[in-house]
């Protein structure tokens, strides 16, 4: 069986989840569900990033201890993912003992391999991004280039990873694997960054300044830099490293049997591209581990020109539209509206337009098909003799898989919706209501209704990754236990199934209600 291991970033436990986090996680969920529908063995990882200065400060401000603070926030992330129907297989927390032991083993491997040294650091630090920035990056106003917040001047002794030693190998890897970082614009950004000499990476913080972290194996006066700690989560969850064995048997080297490493896909926003496409691969090289197979950096949800985020106070609660429209409609909007890789602007108008597709195209098709099967055939799907929409269905499937393979999820969903649109056209053209009245048209009516029933069943398969609950609901109304998997589509037989008409799948919602929400 093919396997697929994909990851989301682990989100800072400094505050509760917002729309930005929800987008990446739903994107991951759609891909995880898609690969499961292809009968692959999927490991879908998400979690929370719980160490470092930012969390230490958030807990101190709330006058609580950092672990209690993180327990609370990680529960809120889990609850949000439950509400948004996210089917993660593993939720990792960097405060888990297993993860701490893997970080130790990872750091020890870097140290033993001779890639670590101690030195003085002088530079500008952004607590918000948990990283240093250069003079050039912070500009004359001395603000971090991601959030525009002031940076701190820091001078202290740190342990460094000899990242510079891996620059050439990394550039070669990117050039030899042109689809390793997608989209291409992001790959070019990384290559641009790598056209300058790469510095070494500070991988520790003195406990006098940051105590909330994992102590270095060889120097308890320092904790691991939070990004090194956090990135390692992807290896922890893979089962590749066994920290309690002697160093040479721990799993640094080639992939071991049973291990899920290397990950097939790291998903992330463009704000954390450098950490994933430069720090992480060079650290893996230093520790002697294979690199992830692909990195997909998506764009930002913005309001006007500004990234949506908690720190900018422009957050739309990811759950707020669910009250009126339901979870699946929010998922549909997020996936259909954003061209993977580019920024997308959140507006209520665009949300209503995308919801309109669900009501007017997919919902309408389901409603009229089920209602005609009930009215003209006592609710039983006739036997399929010839499929009037077979070529359209085949074309939709091939466009859908093609787009998925290139991670253009918005295009894959457009292909699915196009099939529903074509099926509506087929209804108009065939006029089953006229056939029902005219004598001698029984066979034609059977063919029309059976074709529409089969098309709806295919659509439950295509839409399930994005709208799992609605797809299940529609499959149940067609008398199916669940949406068929791709491999079942060929032999799909619905004749004799009793259908349930039911309420519209996507009810019309008054816009006034929605804007009040």
DSSP reduced 3-state for 95: coil
325 is a site residue for ligand MSP (CB under 6 A): no
70 is a site residue for ligand MSP (CB under 6 A): no
269 is a site residue for ligand MSP (CB under 6 A): yes
Out of 4, 6, 9, 261, point to the residue binding ligand MSP (CB under 6 A): 9
- In angstroms, the CA 323 to CA 310 distance is 21
Contacts of 498 (CB under 8 A, 6+ apart): 379, 380, 381, 479
- Give me the least distance between CB of 7 and ligand MSP, in Å please: 8
- Give me the least distance between CB of 269 and ligand MSP, in Å please: 3
- Give me the least distance between CB of 139 and ligand MSP, in Å please: 22
337 is a site residue for ligand MSP (CB under 6 A): no
186 is a site residue for ligand MSP (CB under 6 A): no
308 is a site residue for ligand MSP (CB under 6 A): yes
Beta carbon nearer to ligand MSP, 9 or 262: 9
Beta carbon nearer to ligand MSP, 7 or 448: 7
Q: Angle at the Cα of 72 (from 70 to 77), degrees rounded to 5?
A: 90
Q: Which stretch binds ligand MSP (CB under 6 A): 81-89, 193-201, 268-276, 457-465?
A: 268-276
User: In terms of Cα–Cα distance, which of 434, 457, 435 is closest to 446?
Assistant: 435
10 is a site residue for ligand MSP (CB under 6 A): yes
Q: What is the DSSP string of 414-447?
A: HHHHHHHHHHHHHHHHH-HHHHHHSTT-HHHHHH
341 is a site residue for ligand MSP (CB under 6 A): no
23 is a site residue for ligand MSP (CB under 6 A): yes
272 is a site residue for ligand MSP (CB under 6 A): yes
Q: What is the DSSP string of 238-272?
A: TT---TTS-GGGSS-SSPPTT--PSPSEEEEEGGG
- In angstroms, the CA 302 to CA 385 distance is 50
329 is a site residue for ligand MSP (CB under 6 A): no
77 is a site residue for ligand MSP (CB under 6 A): no
* Whether the Cβ atoms of residue 423 and residue 388 lie closer than 8 Å to each other: no
Q: Which two tokens stand for residue 495?
A: 């004749």
User: In terms of Cα–Cα distance, which of 142, 119, 123, 143 is closest to 132?
Assistant: 123
Binding to ligand MSP in span 191-250, by CB under 6 A? 230-231, 233
21 is a site residue for ligand MSP (CB under 6 A): yes
300 is a site residue for ligand MSP (CB under 6 A): yes
Could you give phi then psi for residue 170, rounded to 5 degrees?
A: -65, -45
User: In terms of Cα–Cα distance, which of 354, 207, 296, 384 is closest to 24?
Assistant: 296
How many other β-carbons are positioned within 10 Å of the β-carbon of residue 54?
A: 21
How many residues at the interface with ligand MSP, by CB under 6 A? 21
- Give me the least distance between CB of 131 and ligand MSP, in Å please: 10
Beta strand 204-206 with 219-224: parallel, antiparallel or unpaired? antiparallel
DSSP reduced 3-state for 201: strand
Say which residue the tokens 């952004």 belong to: 126
Q: Which stretch binds ligand MSP (CB under 6 A): 98-106, 216-224, 269-277, 287-295?
A: 269-277
Q: Which stretch binds ligand MSP (CB under 6 A): 162-170, 305-313, 417-425, 466-474?
A: 305-313
* Whether the Cβ atoms of residue 469 and residue 321 lie closer than 8 Å to each other: no
- Give me the least distance between CB of 179 and ligand MSP, in Å please: 20
- Give me the least distance between CB of 285 and ligand MSP, in Å please: 17
Say which residue the tokens 């406990």 belong to: 207
Q: What is the DSSP string of 446-489?
A: HHHHHHHHHHHHHHHHHHTTT-HHHHHHHHHHTT-SSPPPGGGS
Beta carbon nearer to ligand MSP, 42 or 308: 308
Q: Angle at the Cα of 453 (from 449 to 456), degrees rounded to 5?
A: 140
Contacts of 391 (CB under 8 A, 6+ apart): none
* Whether the Cβ atoms of residue 427 and residue 452 lie closer than 8 Å to each other: yes
Out of 301, 325, 351, 407, point to the residue binding ligand MSP (CB under 6 A): 301
- Give me the least distance between CB of 206 and ligand MSP, in Å please: 21
Handedness of CA 318, 323, 324, 326 (dihedral sign): positive
11 is a site residue for ligand MSP (CB under 6 A): yes
Residue, CB closest to ligand MSP: 20
317 secondary structure, DSSP code: P
* Whether the Cβ atoms of residue 394 and residue 422 lie closer than 8 Å to each other: no
Contact letters for ligand MSP, residues 393-432 (x by CB under 6 A): ----------------------------------------
Beta carbon nearer to ligand MSP, 49 or 357: 49
499 is a site residue for ligand MSP (CB under 6 A): no
Query: Which residues are registered as beta bridge partners of 296?
Result: 182, 267
Beta carbon nearer to ligand MSP, 21 or 430: 21
44 is a site residue for ligand MSP (CB under 6 A): no
498 secondary structure, DSSP code: B
49 is a site residue for ligand MSP (CB under 6 A): yes
12 is a site residue for ligand MSP (CB under 6 A): yes
- Give me the least distance between CB of 418 and ligand MSP, in Å please: 26
45 is a site residue for ligand MSP (CB under 6 A): no
For the chain, the residue count is 517
Q: Which residues of this protein are in contact with ligand MSP, per CB under 6 A?
A: 9-12, 20-21, 23-24, 49, 230-231, 233, 268-269, 271-272, 300-301, 307-309
């Amino acid at each position: 069986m093919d396997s697929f291991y994909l990851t989301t970033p682990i989100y800072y436990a400094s505050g509760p989840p917002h729309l930005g986090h929800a987008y990446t996680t739903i994107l991951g969920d759609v891909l995880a569900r898609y690969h499961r529908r292809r009968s692959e063995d999927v490991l879908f990882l998400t979690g929370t990033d719980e160490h470092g200065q930012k969390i230490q400060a958030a807990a101190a401000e709330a006058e609580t201890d950092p672990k209690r603070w993180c327990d609370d926030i990680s529960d809120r992330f889990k609850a949000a993912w439950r509400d948004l129907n996210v089917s993660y297989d593993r939720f990792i927390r960097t405060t888990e003992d297993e993860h701490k032991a893997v970080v130790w083993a990872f750091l020890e491997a870097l140290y033993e391999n001779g890639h670590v040294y101690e030195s003085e650091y002088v530079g500008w630090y952004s607590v918000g991004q948990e990283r240093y920035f250069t003079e050039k990056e912070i500009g004359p106003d001395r603000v971090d280039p991601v959030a525009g917040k002031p940076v701190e001047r820091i001078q202290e002794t740190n342990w460094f990873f000899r990242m510079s030693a891996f620059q050439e190998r990394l550039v070669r890897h990117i050039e030899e694997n042109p689809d390793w970082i997608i989209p291409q614009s992001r790959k070019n950004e990384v290559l641009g960054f790598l056209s300058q000499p790469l510095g070494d990476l500070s991988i520790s913080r003195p406990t006098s300044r940051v105590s909330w972290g994992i102590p270095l194996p060889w120097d308890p006066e320092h904790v691991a830099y939070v990004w090194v700690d956090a990135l390692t989560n992807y290896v922890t969850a893979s089962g590749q490293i066994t920290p309690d064995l002697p160093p040479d048997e721990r799993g640094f080297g080639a992939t071991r049997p049973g291990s899920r490493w290397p990950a097939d896909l790291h998903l992330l926003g463009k704000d954390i591209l450098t950490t994933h496409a430069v720090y992480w691969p060079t650290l893996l090289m230093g520790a002697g581990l294979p690199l992830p197979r692909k990195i997909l950096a998506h764009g930002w949800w913005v309001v006007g020109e500004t990234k949506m985020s908690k720190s900018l106070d422009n957050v739309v609660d990811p759950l707020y539209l669910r009250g009126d429209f339901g979870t699946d409609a929010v998922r549909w909007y997020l996936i259909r509206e954003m061209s993977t890789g580019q920024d997308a602007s959140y507006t209520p108008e665009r949300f209503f337009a995308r919801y309109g597709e669900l009501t007017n195209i997919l919902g309408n098709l389901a409603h009229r098909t089920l209602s005609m099967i009930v009215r003209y055939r006592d609710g039983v799907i006739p036997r399929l003799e010839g499929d009037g929409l077979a070529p359209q269905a085949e074309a939709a499937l091939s466009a859908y898989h093609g787009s998925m393979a290139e991670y253009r999820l918005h295009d894959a969903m457009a292909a699915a919706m196009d099939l529903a649109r074509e099926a509506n056209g087929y209804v108009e053209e065939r006029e089953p209501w006229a056939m029902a009245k005219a004598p001698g048209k029984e066979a034609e009516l059977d063919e029309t209704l059976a074709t529409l029933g089969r098309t709806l069943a295919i659509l439950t398969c295509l839409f399930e990754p994005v709208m799992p609950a609605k797809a299940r609901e529609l499959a149940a109304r067609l008398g199916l236990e669940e949406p068929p998997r791709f491999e079942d589509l060929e032999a799909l037989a619905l004749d004799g199934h009793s259908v349930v008409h039911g309420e519209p799948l996507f009810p019309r919602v008054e816009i006034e209600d929605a804007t009040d929400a």
